Amino acid sequence: MRVAMAIALRKSGQSKEAAYQLQIASNQENREAMLLYGLSLRYGYGVKKDLDVSFLWICKAASIDSRKKYEFKIDPKILLTKANKKALPTVEPDCSIYFEIGQAFLNGWGCTRNVKQGVEFIEKSGSLGYSDAMCEAGMLWASKKRNSLKKDMKRAAAWFRLADLSGAELIGSDWIYNKKYM
């Protein structure tokens, strides 16, 4: 109930009260509130920006120890086989929580920047049906500019194909169905 109230308050421009309601709900162990409160702290919505505390709240929402290394071993080609021409069902709030943890690691928001760990969480989010994470994973594997990953166009194409199945609008994406990337 507090989360719905906080969302309504935020929409009406009462960010400070919204953040307060999210803080209360977070302290009552509401995972969605923990995520939203963490994002409020990350971007300074109604509270003073605090990237460190933001990261801790978002990790707590996933019951993740922010000091541990995680490896999920997600294979998008296996996910494509399981999807069998249907979109993966979206698992909320988990997919959003993992996506935001991944973004924090990729950008060093409240933690040490760690591209490999960020990609692990982005891919975990994508495996739970979050199409934005699928697109992000595809971009990370297709580009060397933003990260220290070794470029893997087959893996990138697989993530983009999953995003396409999930309804994401991919402009100029015909290449992902090219035989050499299948």
Pairwise CA distance, residues 148 & 90, whole Å: 29
- Within 13 Å and on the Cβ side, how many CA atoms surround 119? 24
Mean pLDDT calculated for residue range 3-29: 96
3-state secondary structure of 123: helix
Q: Is residue 26 scored above 70 in pLDDT?
A: yes
User: In whole angstroms, what is the distance from residue 79 CA to residue 90 CA?
Assistant: 13
Q: What's the average model confidence in pLDDT over 6-10?
A: 96
Number of H helices, E strands in the chain: 9, 0
**What is the overall mean pLDDT for the chain?**
93
Percentage of the chain exceeding pLDDT 70: 98
Quote the DSSP letter at residue 87: P
Task: For tokens 């290394």, name the residue.
Answer: 69
Give pLDDT, residue 182. Answer: 83
Phi-psi region of 29 (alpha: psi -120 to 50; beta: other; left: phi over 0): left
141, pLDDT greater than 70: yes
Distances from the Cα of 171 to the Cα of 71, 123, 176, 180, angstroms: 31, 21, 11, 20
What tokens appear for 158 in the block? 């697989």
Work out the pLDDT band at 6, boundaries 50, 70, 90: very high
Q: How confident is the model at residue 145 (pLDDT cuts 50, 70, 90)?
A: low
* pLDDT value at residue 114: 94
54: which residues sit within 8 A by CB, 6+ positions away? 38, 39, 40, 41, 42, 104, 109, 110
Position 132 confidence tier, pLDDT thresholds 50, 70, 90: very high
51-91 pLDDT, tens digit per residue, is 999 999 999 999 999 889 999 999 999 998 887 777 788 89
Q: State the average pLDDT over residues 90-101.
A: 95
* Cβ proximity of 22 and 52 under 8 Å: no
Task: Calculate mean pLDDT across residues 8-28.
Answer: 97
* Angle between helix 31-43 and helix 94-107 axes, rounded to 10 deg: 30
